[in-house]
Amino acid sequence: PFEKSKGQHILRNPALVDSIVAKAGLKPTDTVLEIGPGTGNLTKRLLEAGVKAVVAVELDPRMVLELNRRFQGHPLSSRLKVIQGDVLKCDLPYFDICVANIPYQISSPLTFKLLSHRPIFRCAVIMFQREFAMRLVAQPGDSLYCRLSVNVQLLSRVSHLLKVGRNNFRPPPKVDSSVVRIEPRKPLPPVSFKEWDGLVRICFNRKNKTLGSIFKQKRVLELLEKNYKTMQSLQLTQDAEMGEEKMSADDVALLANMVEDLSMETGDEKEDDEMEMDDADMVGGGAASFKEKIMGILQQGDFAEKRGSKLSQVDFLYLLSLFNKAGIHFS
């Protein structure tokens, strides 16, 4: 009866369900968002924890029926609201805290959808596939440190809570799992997320190459020069640029639309013939001087010999500010 395509793996270890609920630090005033309640094992414990309300979003109509049957006439059922739908497509209700054992195929878009929801929630305690969880918490220099790590950690503090073996589920999935806590940063750092992600994407395209060699690529230089010229032709004043650097709710909402699965990025070194050729030098004086401008910025911050895989949040913020100050933009 369980559908693989919907990631239906039911938690069958009550002690594990209890420790997930305990780690959530629920308050009596909390409205809890649960995603993918399935047959309701976690839902039941959330209700019993004495919260104000549980709003559960479930895609599968059969599961919704089963849930309603299970909680019918239950003394706590007035605190439960089940919404049938795809959590990625529906408008999320207000919630203080999110607790969920999710279908793993929606991990990345769901994480960014939650982080772009307003008003911002207090905390999310979510079961992810182990590797995705390790990417979320990875630090500079760790082999799993990637664009996902950097982007999620810009917006939140992430911590690993529990390792969960596959046999805690029925049917058992092919991979192990981990429960992670995500606490949105308040306030959010004052950067444009589009700019931030544009820079991080470039730095992680070949995360083990030096920034000096990455920013020498023709493709990268052409993109940055195009942005540069667009900016200049718009005659943006210094003031307008400053205003743009704040992170607005709209800006973060873009995140929710990042459909590509960041978690699957391996940071593999794709071969690129253009790379070592320095073709920009040959195109003419304009291109060469733009390249010099970029190299100058990298050197100014001592970044030319550094690698994306080793850069911290502070390093990326500093690098972005150097570029922006020189009128170089990533979106």
Name the residues that contact ligand SAM, by CB under 6 A. 6-11, 35-38, 41-42, 57-60, 63, 86-88, 101, 103, 106
Burial class from Cβ neighbours inside 10 Å (0-12, 13-18, 19+) for residue 28 reads exposed
The least CB distance from residue 83 to ligand SAM, in Å, is: 9
Name the minimum Å distance from CB 7 to ligand SAM.
5
- Angle (CA) 88-137-35 rounded to 5° is 25
Local structure of 125: helix, strand or coil: strand
Minimal distance in Å, beta carbon 39 to ligand SAM? 6
CB 42 within 8 A of CB 34: yes
Q: Give the shortest CB-129-to-ligand SAM separation in angstroms.
A: 10
Q: Which is nearer to ligand SAM, 88 or 283 (CB)?
A: 88
Angstrom CA distances, 12 to 41, 171, 213, stand at 8, 9, 51
Of all residues in the shown chain, the one whose CB is closest to ligand SAM is 36
State phi, psi for 189 to the nearest 5 degrees: -60, 145
Helix (H) / strand (E) element for 321: namely helix 313-325
What is the smallest separation between the CB atom of 96 and ligand SAM, expressed in angstroms?
19
DSSP 229-265: HHHHHTT--HHHHHHHTS--HHHHHHHHT--S-GGG-
Nearer to ligand SAM, 179 or 298 (CB): 179
Closer CB to ligand SAM, residue 101 or residue 116?
101
Q: In the complex with ligand SAM, which residue's Cβ is closer, 2 or 228?
A: 2
Residue among 82 and 298 whose Cβ is closer to ligand SAM = 82
Q: Taking CA 201 as the corner, what is the angle to CA 198 and CA 206, rounded to the nearest 5 degrees?
A: 145
User: Which segments of 130-211 are extended strands (E)?
Assistant: 156-164, 169-170, 177-184
Residue closer to ligand SAM, measured from CB, 169 or 215: 169
Q: How far is the CB of 244 from ligand SAM (least distance, A)?
A: 33
